[in-house]
């Protein structure tokens, strides 16, 4: 049996789990793929070609590093290509039920101690805690999903169960 040429061991998304991206997230991934294939890969190929012409390849650092970097670029490009191919791009600005938490919502919630926090629910590939973007598959994302403005939901944390109240639900403005 021939292995699937599109099969990529780096794609760790379970087959049953959909890949959601915002239009901005998809654009970032497409730009990274373009940068890898149109700029970085040709530059590394040129270095490897030059290094190969210098003789003994077994001790040629430029050649060995270049070949390794090419494999990394190709692996990342395959990963990005597969993710983009199978992704469902969802524009949160088109959401009609704006009082309920769905993909792309920016949610303000308050914990039992009265501490407010703001997060945006995004796909796993866009999650970035430094920008308060959380995956809808993360515990906080699963707890908030489908909750409505004013609801109290249970958030399971390593420290135990915490009740949080949805204070605000916002979506980007329609373009």
pLDDT digits (tens, 9 = 90+) for 90-118: 999 999 999 999 999 999 999 999 999 99
User: Helix 61-86 crosses helix 23-35 at what angle (to 10 degrees)?
Assistant: 150
Token pair 């700029």 in the structure block, residue: 39
Three-state secondary structure call for residue 28: helix
Q: Residues 6 or more apart from 45 whose CB is under 8 A from it?
A: 66, 70
Residue-level pLDDT at 91: 96
Q: What is the pLDDT of residue 51?
A: 87
Q: Residue 81: which of 3, 4, 10 has the closest Cα?
A: 10
Distance of CA 40 to the CA centre of its chain: 21
20 with 29: CB under 8 angstroms? no
Q: List the domains of the chain with CATH numbers.
A: 20-89 (1.10.287.180), 93-170 (3.10.50.30)
- The per-residue pLDDT for range 114-164, each reduced to its tens digit, is 999 999 999 999 999 999 999 999 999 999 999 999 999 999 988 889 999
Q: Between 58 and 44, where is the model more confident?
A: 44
Judge contact between 88 and 156, C-beta under 8 A: no
């Amino acid at each position: 049996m021939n292995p699937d040429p599109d099969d990529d061991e780096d794609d760790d998304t379970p087959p049953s789990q959909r890949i959601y991206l915002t239009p901005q997230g998809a654009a970032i991934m497409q730009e990274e793929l373009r940068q890898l294939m149109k700029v970085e890969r040709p530059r590394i190929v040129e270095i490897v070609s030059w290094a190969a012409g210098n003789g003994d390849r077994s001790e040629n650092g430029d050649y060995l590093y270049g070949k390794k970097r090419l494999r990394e670029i190709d692996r990342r490009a395959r990963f990005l290509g597969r993710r983009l191919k199978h992704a469902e791009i969802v524009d949160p600005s088109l959401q009609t039920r704006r009082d309920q938490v769905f993909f792309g919502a920016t949610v303000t919630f308050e914990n039992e101690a009265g501490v407010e926090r703001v997060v945006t629910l995004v796909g796993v590939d866009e999650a970035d805690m430094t920008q308060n973007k959380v995956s809808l598959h993360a515990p906080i994302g699963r707890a908030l999903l489908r909750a409505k403005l004013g609801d109290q939901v249970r958030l399971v944390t390593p420290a135990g169960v915490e009740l949080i109240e949805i204070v605000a639900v916002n979506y980007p403005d329609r373009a």
